Structure 1
Amino acid sequence: MDRRAFLRAVGPTTAVGLAGCIGGRSANTDYDVGMGAKVFRPQELRVEPGTTVTWLNTSKQGHTVTAYEDTLPEGADFFASGGFESEQAARDAWGNSSDGTLFEGQSFEHTFEVRGEYPYFCIPHERGGMVGTVVVTDDPETTEE
């Protein structure tokens, strides 16, 4: 069973069990990384090559998903909400008109093919520490490479 199928199967039961802890909202399990006020949840996600990761803005604030371009693994594709081709283009577009912003309930997806670490950040909340990492590995269950 793949991870999303498992989450879809156990998500409703988990949401009922945790309803008091999460303010009564039902859990949306069709995403891998949620966005809080100034945090990605989880902050680190480990996946196998070829996995498509989905970020969902679960916050009332607008957020972006933007790769730190200079730290991507060799041969890896740059990624950013808004479809920009570089980190600078994403920063410029957000600074000029908030392009690339995901509002509450909006999502962004990227498929990771190349093994390695992919640090990323939210442009408006980067200084507040809203950063995350996707680690692409053949064994995502381990915590060490």
Structure 2
Amino acid sequence: MKRRTYLATVGSTVAALPVALAGCSGAPGAGADDETPTDEDDVSGKTTETDDGGATDDEDGDSENGSGTVTAGPSEVDMVTDGDQYYFDPIGLFVEPGTTATWVNVSGAHSTVAYAESNDQAETTRIPSDAEPWSSEVLSEADATFEHTLETTGTYDYFCGPHKSLGMIGRLVVGEPGGPATEGQPPDGELPDSQTIVDQGAVSYGDFAG
């Protein structure tokens, strides 16, 4: 081979080496194992959704704020007129402290009033001594609601103002039984035992009255 032809061939080979080496950057140790998961990757296997306030909902439906503290979600009690029956359903409900209870007017016209002597129509107090009492207006529109947040542990008895004398009463247990409501029944009817409510989570009106 002529010297000039030989040098040209060697020069072309050397020039091609960087390109070949660059193609080896995907060699073992630099491939898919080194990829960093993106925000869309489900690294823990648990899906979360973030609301505008920075809270997340885990798979169990509990709400978790930015500090990692789980807070109770709202719990609903229906207020019902059914023929000559007037009742709260569930009649007994267990919630954790910090829960916002929501009363929903399903039919008829009803209110929810805590048994606290500071409230009209309440001859006795049947909520924890340091708890905040509540008293709603009469709700007459379908699906109208009233909310109250329950911070203090204990048993809370309440009634419907228009139908108190007809036995429309209910009970909430917040965290664990306690307070004056654990001492006998309210003056306007009967309610499930506080511990039964804790054990079952909720006692429907039908199960209790039936």
TM-score (norm 2): 0.44
Residue 80 (structure 1) shift: 1.2
Q: Distance in 2 between matches of 1:41 and 1:65?
A: 12
Q: Residue by residue, what CA displacement relative to the aligned partner does 1:103-133 show, whole Å, maximum 9, x if unpaired? A: 2221000010111111000011111110001
Partner of 1:33: 77
After superposition, the CA RMSD in angstroms is 2.5
Aligned pair partner of 1:71 in 123, 126, 132: 126
Q: Distance in 1 between matches of 2:61 and 2:133?
A: 26
Aligned pair partner of 1:54 in 92, 102, 109: 102
Moved over 4 A (4+): 138-141
Q: Distance in 2 between matches of 1:134 and 1:79?
A: 13
| 1:1-145 aligned within 5 A | 1-2=60-61, 32-37=76-81, 38-59=86-107, 61-69=108-116, 70-81=125-136, 100-103=137-140, 104-137=142-175, 142-143=199-200
Residue 72 (structure 1) shift: 1.3
Q: Distance in 2 between matches of 1:141 and 1:43?
A: 13
Residues 76 and 101 in structure 2, CA contact (< 8 A), matched pair in contact too: yes
Structure having greater relative contact order (Cα 8 Å, sep ≥ 6) = 1
Which secondary structure state, in structure 2, belongs to the residue aligned with residue 71 of structure 1? coil
Residue 143 (structure 1) shift: 5.0
Which secondary structure state, in structure 2, belongs to the residue aligned with residue 132 of structure 1? strand
Query: Residues 47 and 31 (structure 1 numbering): CA distance in 2 closer, same or farther, change over 3 Å?
Result: closer
Residues 31 and 56 in structure 1, CA contact (< 8 A), matched pair in contact too: no
Which of the two has higher C-alpha Rg?
Answer: 2
Q: Distance in 1 between matches of 2:199 and 2:166?
A: 29
TM-score (norm 1): 0.62
Which secondary structure state, in structure 1, belongs to the residue aligned with residue 162 of structure 2? helix
Residues 75 and 99 in structure 2, CA contact (< 8 A), matched pair in contact too: no
Q: Distance in 1 between matches of 2:112 and 2:62?
A: 22
